[in-house]
């Protein structure tokens, strides 16, 4: 993707290709080989890509459900997608429960008291929500650890006329670590309980796999997979997404606002953490940590200008970065600068940025600030 060249120049912009989102969903559906449904995770504003637009693209490509983390996300998504099947996966307070039920979203349960609370509120609101019982097979965050209690919750939900028992689910802790045997342990524990639950509750929707598990082991697909990061063309294993036939959907762009000659020893940015080693040209791009370009990229990042890589030098500030253009340059004010994405024959992958920051690609895209406009294209 390189659709942003014709866009009106602004200080910072995230260009999202919804066509890439569609193609990634189609690729994931091919991985399922027709034996399971795709649920697209669009929480956290679709991992920073834009929830409404990416949800529409995922559904157009064949996703059967959409998943969010919060009640407010469910409410906003319901406005954008009046007929879509929604799952709210996170913990809900009383107020949030009403909001999620009002949005017609399925909810996750893992405690008898909360199951009863869902039933009471559903009756008061005149709804009959779907519930998905969560089995904590080892993630250690939310869910019921005791398989006997999970079985009891399934039975209670199935017997309660105020509720619709829809699913049984879990979440993997180490699916993105190929050498981890803990993934296999979790899968085995979940499979054992799921087989018994399916026999007792025909039609139960069993789901476990995130993006990494979907690409790692078809035995984890069950009836549905919940893919997030791969929907946006990012690699769940933090490697090269193109090697897995995934297409990054997002570019982060700015432009060169100034080009100035620095004498040897002249500094750029707060704290004088970089000084010119010799006479050279330095460009300034009006994008910074207020936009999501993390301060840890100080003297540690790169930008593409004119199809060539240049180091980010000096402290990343809230609104600006400075770029070492070398002792000779043909870069001029107004030239595009790319922080994530392609330019010319080169590309800065989100995974590369994540490695420089000692984090993961999820955090990079979700960290792009709301003040950065999202511009949508479809290629």
Average pLDDT over residues 45-62: 98
Whole-number percent of the chain with pLDDT over 70: 98
Given the residues 43, 47, 289, 376, the one annotated as active site: 43
* Alpha carbon distance 189, 14 (integer Å): 41
Residues 171 and 260 in one domain: no
Mean pLDDT over all residues of the chain?
97
pLDDT band at residue 257 under the 50/70/90 scheme? very high
Whether 5 has a pLDDT exceeding 50, the answer reads: no
* Last-in-domain residue among 202, 232, 262: 232
Residues 285 and 254 in one domain: yes
Active site residue 376: no
Whether 7 has a pLDDT exceeding 80, the answer reads: no
* Alpha carbon distance 80, 271 (integer Å): 46
1 domain residue, yes or no: no
Whether 2 has a pLDDT exceeding 50, the answer reads: no
pTM over 0.85? The answer is yes
Given the residues 47, 232, 255, 270, the one annotated as active site: 270
Average pLDDT over residues 282-291: 98
pLDDT band at residue 33 under the 50/70/90 scheme? confident
Segments forming the whole domain that contains residue 259: 250-377
* Alpha carbon distance 309, 104 (integer Å): 48
Which CATH number covers residue 197?
3.20.20.10
239 domain residue, yes or no: no
Residues 134 and 221 in one domain: yes
Residues 203 and 287 in one domain: no
pLDDT band at residue 4 under the 50/70/90 scheme? very low
Active site residue 270: yes
117 domain residue, yes or no: yes
Residues 119 and 150 in one domain: yes
* Number of domains into which the chain is organized: 2
* Last-in-domain residue among 178, 202, 232: 232
The pLDDT value given to residue 3: 47
* Last-in-domain residue among 200, 232, 264: 232
Among 1-5, 79-83, 268-272, where is mean pLDDT lowest? 1-5
Average pLDDT over residues 258-266: 98
Beta strands in 26-105 (DSSP E): 37-41, 65-68, 85-88
Residues 45 and 143 in one domain: yes
């Amino acid at each position: 993707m390189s659709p942003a060249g014709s866009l009106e120049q602004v200080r910072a912009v995230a260009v999202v290709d919804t066509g890439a989102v569609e193609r990634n969903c189609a690729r994931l559906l091919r991985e399922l080989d027709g034996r399971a449904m795709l649920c697209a995770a669009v929480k956290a504003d679709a991992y920073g890509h834009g929830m409404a637009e990416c949800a529409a693209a995922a559904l157009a490509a064949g996703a059967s459900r959409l998943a969010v983390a919060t009640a407010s996300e469910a409410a906003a998504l319901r406005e954008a997608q009046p007929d879509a099947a929604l799952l709210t996966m996170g913990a809900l307070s009383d107020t949030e429960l009403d909001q999620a039920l009002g949005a017609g979203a399925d909810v996750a349960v893992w405690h008898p008291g909360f199951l009863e609370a869902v039933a009471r509120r559903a009756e008061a609101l005149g709804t009959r929500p779907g519930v998905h019982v969560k089995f904590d097979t080892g993630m250690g965050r939310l869910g019921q650890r005791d398989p006997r209690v999970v079985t009891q919750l399934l039975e209670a939900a199935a017997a309660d006329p105020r509720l619709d028992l829809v699913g049984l689910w879990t979440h993997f802790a180490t699916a993105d670590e190929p050498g981890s045997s803990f993934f296999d342990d979790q899968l085995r524990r979940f499979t054992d309980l799921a087989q018994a639950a399916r026999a007792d509750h025909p039609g139960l929707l069993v789901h476990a796999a995130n993006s990494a598990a979907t690409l790692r082991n078809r035995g984890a697909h069950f009836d549905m997979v919940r893919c997030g990061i791969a929907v946006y063309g990012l690699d769940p294993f933090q490697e090269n997404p193109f090697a897995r036939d995934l297409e990054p959907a997002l570019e982060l762009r700015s432009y060169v606002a100034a080009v100035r000659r620095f004498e040897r020893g002249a500094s750029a940015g707060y704290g004088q953490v970089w000084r010119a080693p010799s006479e050279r040209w330095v460009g300034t791009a009006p994008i910074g940590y207020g936009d999501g370009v993390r301060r840890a990229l100080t003297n540690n990042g790169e930008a593409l200008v004119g199809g060539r890589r240049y180091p980010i030098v000096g402290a990343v500030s809230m609104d600006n970065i400075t770029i070492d253009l070398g002792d000779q340059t043909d870069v001029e004010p107004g030239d595009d600068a790319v922080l994530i994405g392609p330019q010319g024959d080169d590309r800065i992958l989100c995974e590369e940025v994540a490695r420089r920051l000692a984090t993961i690609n999820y955090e990079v895209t979700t960290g792009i600030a709301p003040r950065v406009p999202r511009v949508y294209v479809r290629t």
